[in-house]
Chains A and B, each alone.
Chain A
């Protein structure tokens, strides 16, 4: 009996030690949640040593996954970087704190084009991080891109050589724009037409991929792929035969932004980190790592000539004017999900 008690005490004290052991250090900690491969990791250690702080860095793959992580509340994040439509949803659900801009003087570097956006009309909650668009990455040796249209993705001459994105909003965006509709439509008739197009496209598709498309384009296994602009920049840097078009019908513009969730424990340090990430030096480092288009007005002057000449990085202004931002469709998302499942299960 005594021995049993001994073991119980031993196990309990072990658990206690394990639970308290990590917090015995005095260093303040902030936890950061970001997309995978979306920061120059050296910046994290730089900030840690400069401010005597520990950063718990965590990643996710899709905004929906982030939402679940933030909502489940298993760990309280102090800073999250995510996409605008999800931030819009979280703001409307009261999950985002207002920022204290006194702590973020580097906000002045953020380009005016990216302020006052619909997800945060009064610039209170979120600071833009990177932005990008949706377009077609193609092989210049085999594809004639002169049509400059989304219809390229429906070209039967490239049957089984086209890669679609396995992402319902993005796939629907291409189809809706080709039909001349808004990519935020909640009109069932328009959605059905787009679904019909995507069903017709299915036999031409080589694969529906989430993030493998650039790699396959680099090895020239496929002729065309629907990709995000940063993926295109990365692929084009590895294979000079690749080109990128943003179709004339218009495309999606997205902004990823930094925000402090309402259950954050150390908002001040999070704001300090935001300010650090908005510095010119840190932004230049990040650009050379993630290759998406920058929102920073000073950093863009310091990137390589080659990158500036790339139309997937330095996106022409006339293209930006035709772009549309994803809005949170709220309950209408079910209309998209249902149709996308029907397309994928055909």
Chain B
């Protein structure tokens, strides 16, 4: 009788196998076969797809994606940590409102939010009209790398704030009081107590922002005007335009490996072995 509840997990397990494991296997299969493979009888294995990616052309795209994603993640951290800290310090009633405001934009479709930025940043957009009103020169903002980074920061910032907030609000106030008692000033208290204790939140925030940022394709398309091609755009093009699913799959696998490696490095820094504020 006692383990009857485990049956409730079956639908999810079936779901996982059909929609997560099986597609991953297909991607892997595509990445190690040739374009000419048609069905099981003509299947041909190759590592050519992976080799191709290490040409300077594609490596540049990869480095550029990592660079832009890293900048966005850094800005998210700089904005998100203080925001999470302030939220965690406010009174409970205000705190919930602030958290709600943080999540609210995510209820709207991401495409719509990104399109909205196009009308804000455009040459005849809201910001440029404002600049003109104050007698400032118009600035080319839309379709620049800056706009891409801005779009990523805007879209992924909540993923940084929320885990850091969770880590900060879970902190035992007794430890903070002990730090005060032992004569730590505000700066030392933050550096030696609060910051280390909030690291799990910071790390999961970094992972949560970096992962979607490095593989996004719609933001560089809409706000960057396709001028800096990112890995996500390359994969999209290979699948939709060039019909080269094999090379596209190989790049997807390489991206998965990169993300796995960076996550395991991140976990090394994880002080809270119980996984405190981590989201998985």
Contacts and interface: CB of A to CB of B under 8 A. Distances in A.
Interface of A: 4, 61-62, 64-65, 67-68, 160, 166, 168, 202, 205-209, 212, 216, 219-222, 333, 337, 341-342, 344-345
Given A68-B243, A207-B224, A342-B57, 11 more contacts: A64-B243, A67-B243, A160-B140, A207-B142, A207-B227, A208-B226, A209-B225, A221-B142, A341-B234, A345-B57, A345-B229
A220 B124 CA distance: 8
B225 A64 contact: no
Contact of B229 (A61, A62, A168, A344): A344
Interface in B43-82: 57-58, 60-61, 64
B9 interface: no
Contacts of A168: 241
B30 to A, nearest CB: 13
Contact of B227 (A62, A68, A208, A219): A208
B122 interface: yes
Interface string B129-149: 000000000001011000000
B89 to A, nearest CB: 43
A102 to B, nearest CB: 36
A344 to B, nearest CB: 5
Nearest to A202: B227
A65 B240 contact: yes
Contacts of B142: 207, 221
A287 to B, nearest CB: 29
B242 interface: yes
Contacts of A65: 240-241
Contact of B143 (A4, A68, A207, A344): A207
B240 A208 contact: no
B123 interface: yes
B7 interface: yes
Contacts of B143: 206-207
Contacts of B7: 4
Interface string B217-261: 000001011110100001001001111000000000000000000
Contacts of B222: 212
Interface of B: 7, 57-58, 60-61, 64, 122-124, 140, 142-143, 222, 224-227, 229, 234, 237, 240-243
A199 to B, nearest CB: 13
B152 to A, nearest CB: 17
A125 B141 CA distance: 49
Contacts of A166: 226
B122 A221 contact: yes
Given A205-B227, A341-B57, A219 B122 contact: yes
Contacts of A212: 222
Contacts of B229: 341, 344-345
A342 B56 CA distance: 10
Contact of A206 (B124, B225, B237, B241): B225
A345 B64 CA distance: 9
Contacts of B241: 62, 64-65, 168
A337 B242 contact: yes
Nearest to B240: A65
A344 B241 CA distance: 14
A207 B144 CA distance: 9
B10 to A, nearest CB: 9
A345 B243 CA distance: 19
A38 B224 CA distance: 28
A27 to B, nearest CB: 31
- Which 8 pairs, one residue from A and one from B, show the smallest C-beta to C-beta distance? A207-B225, A208-B226, A207-B143, A221-B123, A344-B229, A345-B229, A64-B241, A345-B61
Nearest to B128: A221
Contacts of B226: 166, 207-209, 344
14 contacts: A64-B241, A65-B241, A68-B240, A160-B140, A166-B226, A205-B227, A206-B143, A207-B227, A221-B122, A221-B124, A222-B123, A341-B237, A345-B60, A345-B64
